[in-house]
Structure 1
Amino acid sequence: MKYTIMAFWLFSAGLAWGQEIEWPDTKYRPGDCITTIDPLWTWYGKAAIVAEIVYAQELEGFFYYIRIQNDPVWIGDLFAIKTIDDYTAKLTSCPP
């Protein structure tokens, strides 16, 4: 009985670890440069780079990891995909 329970647990764990995450459709891809179109946002008029699209387990969702230009450094943070898709525009080039 002990080995049956252990085998079932290992089988179940293997299924859970083997599951693929279904990635959402997004407006942007990593490497895209964007800017906000909302003048109320703190980074209005600045450029940002979509560094990555991530799944945050603690927040239970998908997010853009965005690096925002804040001279002389770039500051990174997570942003909700829908919010960024709705309130930003793609830039033709990234600033240096």
Structure 2
Amino acid sequence: MCACLKLPALLLHTSDGIGVGSNLLYQHDLNTQVAMKRRSISLARQYDREMANQHFMTFDTFWGRPGHGAQAGKTRKLKLNNLLYGTPGCTSD
């Protein structure tokens, strides 16, 4: 049985019986896998950049301003303390 791949232009044999065509096909498959891996990495990096930009835009327009979800400071805590413990200047007689 012949160990060569029956491609029209690749009918050469090496001394060990493995066809040159199969080596070229294997190399082509490896190159295809490398290209697909690089493409997926590139797409992942692009997606990460887009998500980071979207995050910064959202933070700058909505969450970054006081009153739009940002912490208001100690005002609420002071109001809570006044409700729980009363203010020292007020008497509730």
**TM-score, normalised via structure 1 length:** 0.30
* Larger RCO, structures 1/2 (Cα 8 Å, 6+ apart): 1
**TM-score, normalised via structure 2 length:** 0.31
